[in-house]
């Protein structure tokens, strides 16, 4: 009887010692995570950072399925910081998981939202004849990371094109409409990346003949006013 009591007492001491050791290091298998920025338009560079509390030999940082980064820690390192950065080029909401590979069912999760860039505005301009038109937009649109652009003129014809500078704007090639009428033209910027492909389309109404008249600011103040 005394031997059983002694063994139970010894086991209790060992368990208490183990708990104190774990507590001294903050616990086991712990981690926290934060992501910044948590929202924004693409391309969005997001940094995930945090610390591990307790001894975690390694963690994997799953960037919403787009990329995975692994961080390993020395045995004696407790409360170790970690970070990883990834640029998202696809719109959507992503759950970023920080995972202990030995316990993958218990991730630390943070969520970010990547939005598409704002829709461009299309201007309709006439060119060499009352039936000839082109579409234009602000030049900064061409700095977005799309692969190519197409224009559907609304009369059964379409083409792939490269934006070119036209006055204070960038524009499509000219198009000659075959008859008077009102046409719905559209421009699509096609995005293609490592993880996704998606399109952004904007439309404009073209009235033929005389679809529009270019606006030509004559002062720098007028030019600046276009981008406020």
Does one domain contain both 83 and 154? no
Domains in the chain, number: 2
Residue 224 has pLDDT above 50, yes or no: no
Q: Is position 6 within any domain?
A: no
Q: Is position 2 within any domain?
A: no
Q: What is the pLDDT of residues 95-123, one digit of tens each?
A: 999 999 988 998 999 999 999 999 999 99
Domain of residue 158, CATH code: 2.60.40
* Dist. CA 167–CA 127, nearest whole Å: 13
Residue 157 has pLDDT above 90, yes or no: yes
Domain of residue 109, CATH code: 2.60.40.10
pTM score, whole prediction: 0.70
| Residue 140: C-alpha distances to residues 48, 136, 154, 221, 226 (Å) | 29, 12, 25, 18, 12
Q: Is position 70 within any domain?
A: yes
Q: Is position 92 within any domain?
A: yes
- Structure confidence at residue 216 (pLDDT): 39
Q: What is the pLDDT of residues 1-15, one digit of tens each?
A: 445 544 343 334 333
Does one domain contain both 41 and 131? no
- Structure confidence at residue 32 (pLDDT): 83
Q: Is position 42 within any domain?
A: yes
How many helices (H) does the chain have, and how many strands (E)?
Answer: 2, 18
Domain encompassing residue 32: 26-115
Q: Is position 11 within any domain?
A: no
* Dist. CA 215–CA 77, nearest whole Å: 65
């Amino acid at each position: 009887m005394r031997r059983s009591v002694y063994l139970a007492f010894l086991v209790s001491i060992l368990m208490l010692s183990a708990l104190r050791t774990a507590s001294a290091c903050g616990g086991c298998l712990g981690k926290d995570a934060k992501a910044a920025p948590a929202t924004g338009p693409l391309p969005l560079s997001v940094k995930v950072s945090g610390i591990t509390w307790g001894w975690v030999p390694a963690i994997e940082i799953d960037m919403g399925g787009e990329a995975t980064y692994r961080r390993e820690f020395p045995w004696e390192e407790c409360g170790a910081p970690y970070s990883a950065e990834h640029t998202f080029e696809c719109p959507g909401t992503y759950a970023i998981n920080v995972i202990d590979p030995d316990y993958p069912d218990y991730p630390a999760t943070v969520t970010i939202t990547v939005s598409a860039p704002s829709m461009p505005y299309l201007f309709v301009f006439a060119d060499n004849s009352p039936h000839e038109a082109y579409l234009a937009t602000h030049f900064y649109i061409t700095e977005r990371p799309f692969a190519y652009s197409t224009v559907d003129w609304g009369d059964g014809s379409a083409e792939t094109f490269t934006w070119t500078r036209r006055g204070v704007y960038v524009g499509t090639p000219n198009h000659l409409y075959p008859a008077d009428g009102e046409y719905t033209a559209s421009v699509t910027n096609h995005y293609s990346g490592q993880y996704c492909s998606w399109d952004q389309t904007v439309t404009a109404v073209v009235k033929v003949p005389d679809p529009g008249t270019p606006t030509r600011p004559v002062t720098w103040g007028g030019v600046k006013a276009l981008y406020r």
